[in-house]
Amino acid sequence: MNKCLFCMIRDGEIPSDKVYEDEHVIAFRDIDPQAPVHVLIVPKEHYADITECPNETAGYMLDAARRLAVENGLTEKGFRLVMNTGEEGGQSVKHLHMHLLGGRQMTWPAG
């Protein structure tokens, strides 16, 4: 079976600008940043999207997101966490991931 893009990044087969790693997740800078801080938080285990993953995994992702928000100085002014899911949700990479966006004023609706 072919590995997906984020599995290849996880395994170091494709380079990434990695900013965090623990037993459960990795995080790296988005290649096409939509904000001054744009980090992807990715579970090491492959799940297609949030509908497939155990609650425990979602918790590990949130823990990493909070840590990265603090490390990047985003907690005072705020930040956004996004999980695009499926076709209408605008998901392009079918390996569960969370976007951490910060460092600029966000707008709503997200578009």
Nearer of residues 63 and 84 to ligand AMP, judged by Cβ:
84
Backbone CA torsion sign across 93, 97, 103, 106:
positive
The type of residue at 71 is E
Nearer of residues 76 and 82 to ligand AMP, judged by Cβ:
82
**Which of these segments, 28-36, 41-49, 58-66, 67-75, binds ligand AMP (CB under 6 A)?**
28-36
Any catalytic annotation for residue 46? no
Interface residue with ligand AMP, options 92, 105, 107, 108 (CB under 6 A): 92
**What is the smallest separation between the CB atom of 38 and ligand AMP, expressed in angstroms?**
7
In three-state form (DSSP H/G/I as H, E/B as E, the rest C), the secondary structure along 45-102 is CCCCCCCCCCHHHHHHHHHHHHHHHHHCCCCCCCEEEECCCCCCCCCCCCCCCEEEEE
**What is the smallest separation between the CB atom of 48 and ligand AMP, expressed in angstroms?**
11
Name the active-site residue from 38, 46, 97, 99: 97
Q: How far apart are CA 57 and CA 51, in angstroms?
A: 12
Which positions are catalytic?
97
